[in-house]
Amino acid sequence: MTWIKFISWLAALYAFYYLLNIAWDFFRNKKKGGNDAGPELHFEEATAPLQVVPETLEEKKVEPKKGSNEAAASALGGVRVKDLFQLAKLELIAYNQSVTF
């Protein structure tokens, strides 16, 4: 028996096995009376959703420290891409150093 013949027989046996399993499931579900998926879980929320109002920018405004780049930092911590490159050129971004407390 050659390898090609062996692999062909093995593939045919696997295909027959899987087709037999699919047919068995199909006929077994038909006898039960349809596609019954079994018991299902249902969850109900005990709390009602709350509407959250975002704070205005005036309330979150932070005063910049002296000597810092006021144009680069925003009140929410975001930095524009143009200012990001400027901060990188000034070597103000410490992304690989440890945090000091």
Map out the domains of the chain as residue ranges: 1-34, 65-96
For the chain, the farthest-separated pair of C-alpha atoms sits apart, in whole angstroms, at 85
pLDDT of residue 51: 84
State residue 52's pLDDT score: 82
Give residue-wise pLDDT tens across range 40-92: 888 887 877 788 887 765 555 555 555 555 544 555 567 788 887 888 788 77
pLDDT of residue 27: 86
Q: How many CA atoms lie less than 13 Å away from 25 in the CB half-sphere? A: 8
Please report the pLDDT score of residue 72 as a whole number. Answer: 46
